[in-house]
Amino acid sequence: MDRAGPEPLGRTVEAVVVRWEHVQRGDGPAALRVRHRLAALSEHAVDLLVVTGRSARRVEATLAPALGPGTRWVWPTRSGRPFVSGPDGPEPLAGVAPGPPARAVGAFLDDLHGRGVGPGLVLLVPGRRDAELRAAGAAGRCATVPAAGPPEVLALLDEQLRRRAHRRVPTVDDDPAWTVTAPAGLARRAVDALFGLATGGVGTRGAAEEHPGAAPTVLAAGVYRGDGADQELRPLPVWTGLEVGGPAVAEEDRRLDLRTGVLLREERGAAVPLRTLRLAHAERPGVVALRAEAAHDRRHPGAAQRVPLGERATSSGHGRRRFARAGDDALDAAVVAAVQRRGRDGDVGTVERIARYATGRRPPPLAEVVADVDAAEHHGFDRLLRDQRAAWARRWEEIDVRIPDDPALQRALRFCLFHLWGLASGAHGGSGELAIGARGTSGRGYRGHVFWDADVFVVPALAAIDPDASRAAVRHRLARLPAARELARRRGHAGARFPWESGARGEDVTPATGLLGARPVVIRTGELEEHVTADVAWSAVHHAEWCREPQFLLGPARPLLVETARYWASRCRVDDEGRAHLDHVIGPDEYHEDVDDDAYTNILARWNLRAAADVADRAGVVHDEATRWRDLAGRLVDGLDPATGCHAQFRGYPARQTVALTGRLRPPVAADVVLGHAGVERTQVIKQPDVLMAHHLVPAEAGPSSLLPDLDLYGPRTAHGSSLSPGIAAAVAARAGRTDEALELLRTCVALDLEDLTGTVVSGLHVAAMGAAWQAVLTGFAGVRVEHGALHLAPRLPAAWSTVEVRFRALGRRLRVQVDADTTTVTTDLPVTVRYDGGPPARVTASATFPRTPDACGRPA
């Protein structure tokens, strides 16, 4: 506790509730001072509720001179509707009728909740005998501090003003549905990745401010250094560093507030604890802000007088400002500007810092970045925080998942959505592109190279969250089409072949060797794992269809479809019987290398040929090629055995050794590490659901009738040795009605990061697994698909859930689907065509409810 006293006085609140009659009682000058304190709090972006039984107009006439124009404040009244004061004068607060104080406080909390302020951040000040207001506080879980009269109210308000004036660290609302804390026993550097924040394509790990650790703290999407396989994400100047003296922090709490996008860190046990709060702004891409406080004598002499911007950057500055530029050329550069203020509140020293990062092919000039950070500072930290909370509240109103029967899983899925939002948040910026590395901007795992993860795991998730971001990710691939053409040419083929690991300019940066456990191995994925070419084409088509942008497919994305089809046409071998083959490949199951006719690769290549032919026809070009592509697609084998209804994963797969996945091989497990590279090659154990992935992406091409046989065959043989595996397996199992199995797979998927199941989170979060988890809920359990401009629904609930609700974007609409035991309700902001469980199309203009049948439940309704 600090000198401000016990809770709730020893913290900063975001809203205050007082009764007007209570303020007016007693000494007139004290009441006047209270009114002026309210005015000052409103200038610090604090929301105010003044409860009164008098006429709202009369109270306004008394308060308005003190509060001034442009202030937002609200009060209820029994003689008229509640009013909100704004720049244009008082306006009725919609949906709130006059009534007792409890109703007024409830309405106020609802209004605050819509702007990201939870009841734990509200201070309610009733009179000693004000039972109504005290009851309202208890019902709303407000912090309640009774006061006898204006002097006591004045002391409470002065405490809040003092905390604001001296830049004390705010707090978060400890709502368990939205707050993530560090799991016990997790390594500090893994926790750093979990608690990262991102905006404008720039991510900051949640590392301690006084010792950020060995891992780079700040990274930007697509900003690299080095060449070839050594190319890696460039560490950027660090904005969070603090010099804190005294003993090292032994125990601490870190709380990531998913609802408002802020990270709070608090030292435990100290008389005056070290506390920090940081945010990456949701509405100002690239703007980050920090407040910190500690005992004043813990700072080294001169500490925090400068803004630390890292050793690798060239920096300059004067006074409170610092500027830096990292990188030598326009493509890989970042420009940073930062400003800070120091303060002291008794024995508490404080620091406030605001920075602005700009990256991209042509970062803006330094003067523009400095102007942005100056504007953010002028706006003020309190208002930045208020705007941040409101922006995230709007996000969660549009995009969310709600599973009342499983709050832990609900929070884990929100954690996934939170970090996917971080990827999307303004990352497309001025360049119009978004590079999605294997670990996003949370770490340098895989050196930040772009894999197929971006195209088939993250892009579909972003399309349902932020269509601008998914379009930017596809544009990133489009801009690297020339490099893909060059790679195909060097391999002796036509068209465009995308590299397995892509660097800044789209060049192949796949390393030639690596480690399997502690043993060096040859890496052949760069040479043989070619399905990424079809995956890139699939992501472009998926974005265009899901987001209802046909012109994007016929315009900017058409060369991508055409060039990838040309690659497959030149890559296929046609045998003497007229059948087409793809020899010497590696499928998503990387346990088996250099195989022929991998089912996933062939099915996706076949889809690619047909999709390109369709686009060419619609665009009215390359008719002869389109005919050849369709003919070749019809000849391309896929390993389907009509007798069993199963696809052979590759030619010769059925002859491999069957191994039971039990004991030390119990999934999820890196079976190649346990059995060795050669050992796992001899078995039918697979790394991830190779064939099932085809069912997930292109169900019509894979053949719906083979889904259940393929699940029966490959489910027991999948080791889930890749983070990409459990989420997609969950989506496919849910779609097939095996919902309880799907639920367990989904739990594994979300635990990969939150529990660090593989011990690799230190290198960054598995953003593809997060995208897969969201797809499992949206397309699996909620059964959402988009086809031919219509929303298709076929929901499947596991036995443990009585309901699930998903909020998402599709077809240019903001949609909400709630699945209950007996009904499914669709809500939309614009008219949309819905086909429910294969039924006839229905036009939904606002909301419609469809009865569920036993077949549509995955279990009896």
- Domain assignments of the chain as residue spans, ordered by start: 15-165, 179-185+235-392
* Confidence at 49, pLDDT banded by 50, 70, 90: confident
**pLDDT score of 64:** 61
Query: Could you report how far apart the first and last alpha carbons of the chain are, in Å?
Result: 53
User: Averaged over 444-458, what is the pLDDT?
Assistant: 96
In b/e form, how buried is each residue of 287-319, taking b as 16+ CB within 10 angstroms?
A: bbbbbbbbbeebbeeebbebbbbbebbebebee
pLDDT at 430: 52
**Cα–Cα dist 52/76, whole Å:** 6
pLDDT for position 700:
95
Mean pLDDT over residues 838-846, rounded? 95
Instruction: Tell me what percent of the residues of the chain surpass a pLDDT of 70.
Output: 87
Q: Length of the chain in residues, anyone?
A: 861
The pLDDT value given to residue 508: 96
pLDDT band for 101, please (50, 70, 90 cuts): confident
pLDDT at 423 over 80: yes
- pLDDT band for position 57 (cuts 50, 70, 90): low
In this predicted structure, what is the pLDDT of residue 187? 83
- Find, among 425, 442, 510, 424, the residue nearest to 233 by Cα: 442
Model confidence at 317: pLDDT above 70:
no
pLDDT for position 401: 98
CA-CA distance, 313 to 234, in Å (whole number)? 11
Instruction: Tell me which of 78-87, 476-485, 574-583, 660-669 is least confident.
Output: 78-87
| Eight-state DSSP code of residue 456 | I
Please compute the mean of the pLDDT values over residues 404-408 and round it to a whole number: 97
Helix (H, G, I), strand (E, B) or coil at 74: strand
Q: Between residues 99 and 226, which one has the greater pLDDT?
A: 226
- 63 band by pLDDT with thresholds 50, 70 and 90: low
> Which residues does residue 147 pair with via DSSP β-bridges, in sequence order?
127
pLDDT in tens, 455-489: 999 999 999 999 999 999 999 999 999 999 999 99
Nearest one of 255, 251, 280 to 265, comparing CA atoms:
255
Does the structural domain 179-185+235-392 have CATH classification 3.40.50.1820?
A: no
Q: Say whether 179-185+235-392 and 15-165 share the same fold.
A: no
pLDDT reported for residue 379: 93
Query: For 680-701, what is the mean pLDDT?
Result: 96
Q: Tokens for 606?
A: 């076949």
Instruction: Give the Cα separation of 339 and 377 in Å (integer).
Output: 8
Q: What would the DSSP string read from start to end of 565-576?
A: HHHHHHH-EE-T
CA 610 to chain centre: 33
> How large is the average pLDDT for residues 16-24?
79
Bigger pLDDT: 376 vs 105: 376
**Which listed CATH number (3.40.640.10, 3.40.50.1000, 3.20.80.10, 3.60.150.10) goes with 15-165?**
3.40.50.1000
More confident position, 776 or 838: 776
H/E stretch holding 634: helix 623-635
Q: Is a pLDDT exceeding 90 seen at residue 695?
A: yes
pLDDT at 90 over 70: no
Q: Reply yes or no on whether the pLDDT at 85 is more than 90.
A: no
CB within 8 A of 717, min separation 6: which ones? 658, 661, 684, 685, 686
Mean pLDDT value across residues 389-401: 96
In this prediction, residues 418-437 reach a mean pLDDT of 82
- CA–CA separation, 292 vs 346, rounded Å? 15
pLDDT at 278: 97
How sure is the predictor about 405, in pLDDT bands with cuts at 50, 70 and 90?
A: very high
The percent of residues above 90 in pLDDT, for the chain, comes to 62
Q: With CA atoms as reference, report the closest residue to 808 among 831, 787, 837, 829.
A: 829
Q: Is the pLDDT of residue 667 over 60?
A: yes
> Please, which pLDDT band fits residue 326 given cuts at 50, 70 and 90?
low
Q: What is the structure's pLDDT at 520?
A: 84
pLDDT of residue 745: 97
- For residue 836, the model assigns a pLDDT of 96
251-255, 559-563, 599-603, 721-725: the lowest-pLDDT one: 251-255
Per-residue confidence (pLDDT) for residue 573, from 0 to 100:
97
pLDDT for 65: 61
State residue 521's pLDDT score.
Answer: 85
CB 67 within 8 A of CB 38: yes
Contact 80, 98 (CB under 8 A): yes
Out of 94-108, 287-301, 314-328, 727-741, the most confident range is: 727-741
The more confidently predicted of residues 795 and 88 is 795
- The average pLDDT across 39-59 equals 75
pTM for the whole thing? 0.93
More confident residue, 365 or 534: 534
Angle 382-385-387 (CA atoms, 0-180°, nearest 5)?
Answer: 110
| Between 711 and 152, the higher pLDDT residue | 711
Higher pLDDT, 795 or 359: 795
User: Is residue 847 predicted with pLDDT exceeding 70?
Assistant: yes
pLDDT at position 79, please?
A: 44
Using CA atoms, how far apart are residues 181 and 263, in angstroms rounded to an integer? 10
What's the pLDDT band for 428 if we cut at 50, 70, 90? low
Most confident among 201-210, 235-244, 317-326, 391-400 (mean pLDDT): 391-400
In angstroms, the Cα distances linking 584 to 570, 590, 640, 833 are 14, 13, 19, 44
Select the more confidently predicted residue: 597 or 300: 597
DSSP summary character for residue 417: H
Q: For 149-185, give the DSSP string.
A: SHHHHHHHHHHHHHHHHTT--------TTTEEEPPTT
Among left, alpha and beta (phi > 0; psi -120 to 50; other), residue 159 is alpha
Please state, rounded to an integer, the average pLDDT across all residues of the chain.
87
* Mean pLDDT of the region 580-598: 97
Strand partners, 640: 647
Cα separation, 794 vs 800, in Å, equals 18
**Predicted local distance difference test score (pLDDT) of residue 431:** 63
| Cβ proximity of 121 and 14 under 8 Å | yes
pLDDT of residue 355: 93
pLDDT of residue 330: 45
